[in-house]
Chains A and B, each alone.
Chain A
Amino acid sequence: MPASASRLDPDRLLTGGLRLCAAFSAALLILVVIFLLLQAGPVLDAIGPWRLFADDGWFPADTAAAGQFSIVALLAGSGAVAFGATVLAAPLAIASAVFCRFVAPPRIGQLFRRMLEVLAGVPSVVFGFWGLVVLVPLINRWQPPGASVLAGALVLGLMILPTIALLADSALRSVPRATLSAAAALGLSRWRTALQVALPAARGGVVTGIILGVARAIGETMAVLMVCGNVVQVPASVFEPVRTLTANIALEMAYAYGDHRSALFLTGLVLTLLVIALVLVAELGRGANARRTAHG
């Protein structure tokens, strides 16, 4: 009797089904990496990883011998824009989260959180278009040519602000009630409770939010393609245009052949590994924080 019942046990079916779904999702990432490796293979064979850094600029051609494939300037472009966006967005986002949890009345806080969620869902091309027709001409009047690291950082900052704010908010929410009660019992003001008790306790979650924001900024394509100017160079100031790894793929993939095409897949692989590394760092940070909280 137990044997026949277990055959169609809904629990087992569910567990099996969920395992299958999970395995499928995990396999997708592995398949993406394998696909990128296969596509990038020809150019890796032809130029090796060295020339990605040693070549004299990014002047791709159909054959490895005829082209120059340095991605240094593209990495610098992605890095500069993502860094700028994070510097602009993170303080605002953390302030928003603190406002939401500790300052705003519950109703307003709830409304504010909904707005952040909607902001997080606005398609990136909308931000990009706004940047192209409003922000870039504005910066151009001040510091030509307008399309620049600054424009990219501002647009991307807007896009990752809700991501960081929502994650910081949920990190603050998971601060143990006992900790906050203890702070209140000590007679700490709301301000000091938020800044000196809750935020340090939620540090792991906040840092995770920032890193995931950086990952999103690095992966964003359409908006930066429209506002960053797309000149392949290491920027000397925030007013100079740059081309990011993602914009480079979007600009050139449609016209790429042979080793050029393969090199674009290689930059895609670099991007994927970069984002995986960032997520791993975020995960390690969270783990360390969890241990610290458990011991403290």
Chain B
Amino acid sequence: MLPIWRLLLVLSAVVLAACGNGQTTTTVTLTGSSTIGPVMTEVARRYEAANPTIRVDVQTGGSSRGIQDARTGLADIGMSSRALKPAEAEGANQHILARDGVAFLLHASNPVDSLSDDQLRDIYLGRISNWQQVGGKDAPITAISRANGRSELNIFQDYFDVAERQIKPDLIAGENQQGIKLVAGNPDAIIYMSIGTAETDQQAGVPIKLLPLAGVPASSQTVADGSFPMSRVLILVTRDDLAPAAKQVLDYALSPAVHDLIEAQAFVPAR
């Protein structure tokens, strides 16, 4: 009699039908590091093409979130671009996916070609503020650091042994792409970033250059052979009670079948 009841009936039928459809595919969720995210998106695409009943959902939001999500069960697999803290490692299984180095980036037009560890440290501690002091032109240095919690900042702090409050940055960048745009748009800027991301963008024509560190050139080769000093491991994190579909995705990501995808992002696959 009343149209509203009919409407409700139709609505509930639609909802039920949608639920019925959803059960034919299984979803595997990955969350975490925005450094690993793009690789795993490619891996997921290739895996889905071969396994149409499994959907792989890759979300980024930082290593800490990935580790937390994997441990709490919000995600099947967490992605971390830093070593786990002891508290985080408890009850978590770690699988090394690849290695990555963090290097310093300058604008391509900057005449400075190398900086010593001491010079880099002094730039970020605010003791050196003009490129002239390190053999460049007379221009103020724009030192860009990274936000609290990002793995690059942790690696930077470990390598130079400085506390966060000692760092006196001119700017702070969040996501990698924001950092790249800041350096590409500022000839006097310096930032530190994952070599993988920086190399990919450099090859794509973005006007940036990577500085050698302690005499070791910043490239995927030196990261691969372990000689690049400021480097990290890219880890996939899981729980013990991993769902079968998630286990398959994990095994696939760690297999040689995806090495070309990892190398395409300028990371070095774990052997």
A residues whose Cβ falls under 8 Å from a Cβ of B: 8, 57, 59-60, 68, 132-133, 136-137, 140, 144-147, 225-226, 229-231, 241, 243, 250-252, 254-257
Contact = CB atoms under 8 A, between A and B. Distances in A.
Contact of A254 (B62, B139, B169, B186): B62
A255 B63 contact: yes
A226 B68 CA distance: 27
A57 B167 CA distance: 13
A259 to B, nearest CB: 13
Interface stretch (B47-55, B172-180, B228-236): B172-180
Given A8-B2, A146-B185, A231 B149 contact: no
Interface string B130-149: 00000000011010000111
B148 A255 contact: yes
A225 B179 CA distance: 12
A230 B167 CA distance: 14
B165 interface: yes
17 contacts: A57-B165, A132-B181, A136-B186, A144-B140, A144-B170, A144-B186, A146-B185, A226-B178, A230-B147, A231-B172, A241-B170, A243-B172, A251-B148, A254-B65, A255-B147, A255-B150, A257-B64
Interface in B61-110: 61-65, 68
A132 B149 contact: no
B115 interface: no
B158 interface: no
A252 B170 contact: no
A144 B107 CA distance: 15
B122 interface: no
Given A254-B61, A254-B65, A255-B148, A229 B165 contact: no
Nearest to A247: B174
Interface of B: 2, 61-65, 68, 139-140, 142, 147-150, 164-165, 169-174, 178, 181-182, 185-186, 188-189
Contact of A229 (B68, B150, B170, B188): B170
Contacts of B164: 59
A137 B185 contact: yes
A140 B170 CA distance: 12
A226 B174 CA distance: 9
Given A140-B186, A254-B61, A254-B64, 15 more contacts: A59-B148, A59-B164, A133-B185, A144-B140, A144-B170, A144-B186, A145-B142, A145-B189, A147-B182, A230-B171, A231-B169, A231-B171, A243-B172, A252-B148, A257-B64
A272 to B, nearest CB: 22
Nearest to B169: A231
A255 B68 CA distance: 10
Contacts of A133: 181, 185
A266 to B, nearest CB: 16
Contacts of A145: 142, 170-171, 186, 189
A225 B174 contact: yes
Contacts of A252: 147-149
Contacts of B178: 132, 225-226
A32 B64 CA distance: 25
Between B140, B165, B186, the greatest number of chain A beta carbons within 10 A of the residue's beta carbon is seen for: B186
B65 A255 contact: yes
A16 B73 CA distance: 41
Contacts of A255: 62-65, 147-150
Contacts of B148: 59-60, 251-252, 255
Contacts of B186: 136-137, 140, 144-146
A14 to B, nearest CB: 11
Contacts of A144: 139-140, 142, 170, 186, 188
Contacts of A229: 170-172
A241 B189 CA distance: 14
Contacts of A57: 165
* 8 A-B pairs with the lowest CB-CB distances in the bound complex, closest first: A255-B149, A254-B62, A137-B185, A230-B172, A145-B142, A251-B147, A254-B61, A229-B171
